[in-house]
Amino acid sequence: MNHLHIFRFFLGALFAVFLGSTSSHAQTEKTDSLAADSLRLLLSPDSAAKKTQKIPITKKLKQSWLARFIRSFNEYDTAYITPNYYNFTAMMQNTNIFQLYKLSGRSANGQHQSISARPEANVKVGPYFGWRWIFVGYTFDISHPAKAGSSTEFSLSLYSSQLGCDFVHVRNNGNYRLRRVTGFGDIPPDKVKDTPFDGINAKTTSFDAYYVFNHRRFSYPAAYNQSTVQRRSQGSGMLGLGFSKQVVDFDYTRLPDYLQHAPDGTPLLIDELKFSGFNYTYYYISGGYAYNWVFLPKWTLGVSLMPSVGWRQVKGEKRAGIEDVFLNMKNFSFDGLFRMGLVWNNSRIFAGASLISHLYLYKKQRLTVTNSINYLNIYAGFYFQRKRQYRNRKL
């Protein structure tokens, strides 16, 4: 099963749970009706026999169990969490992406060199739209409109109080600048910093799903998705799984000549950094802890850390057998996800900021590539169209 099938499986399962929950109220009414039919059957078997025969008893039990199971995904203690009273959410968001690639190599004789590069600074703005737990958005680069095609960012989130998932796609083509180098002799740092470099084309795609243990009192979406409001400080352990795909094309010949050759013309760049790129998929299990601090009414500061461990599959790499795939430690890797969010929310309008940091690590023999993707989001929005159960309630 490749990563695309895994992604479709998880996404399909989550949609079934989230979209199924919208019918839980109707299923509850049907369950009550079935109970009434059963009572009529006991009082008057002849008159109710035909009606009750339409739905077998086993199906009634399954519906009742399914209704309870679906409702459990959004059970919470209202003393700690205020629910979302509306069906839809609209907001504008400013997204600033700080991505950093660090290429580190060590030659056979022990010489170490590293090159750090990052995309050009940009400012993105775009609309986001949410329906209950589904949140979709797209941002546009307004700082470099002529290069709009060289950078793309897309995200999709689905949340309930108990289960959630995130899908992220980031692509950068050639719009990098060198930040720092080490191991290249006496080259002054100022000579390298902010030097344009179009030798990296990179694409990152990731999907992760997680389970919140203390979901009745702790709301992960309150700090990062604005679909609920945390009323009292609370934390929770979390467990997740997912995958990420990294595709990087690297052309070292695009580096400045003074990084490739010494003043006398001898090669300066070590062979370990003369690679053409890599393409791998990382399947992982993650675990961590999150905490929401309600330091003032309607204000929440959330922090979470989710390190992961998993198995890396490199495209085109031959495998000798099952032992080489799962028992060879070189195929295992460690990544991480850190979040921090500050939000003000009065259950009708909201505003806030969040920092999300993804860390991806690739190692092969004497080459290490660290990919850090950091999002700084600033947003403001509002809710509209009250849910049916809250339409006659004074908020």
pLDDT over 70 (residue 32)? no
Of 83-87, 299-303, 336-340, 345-349, least confident by mean pLDDT is 83-87
pLDDT given for residue 150 in this prediction: 61
> Is 260:234 a contact under the CB 8 Å cutoff?
no
pLDDT over 70 (residue 376)? yes
Q: What is the pLDDT of residues 182-209, one digit of tens each?
A: 888 888 777 888 888 888 888 889 898 9
pLDDT given for residue 71 in this prediction: 65
pTM higher than 0.85: no
CATH class of 82-388: mainly beta
d(CA 97, CA 173): 14
CA-angle at 151, arms to 149 and 156, nearest 5°: 110
> Is 278:203 a contact under the CB 8 Å cutoff?
no
Ordered by start, the domain boundaries in the chain are 17-71, 82-388
More confident residue, 102 or 189: 102
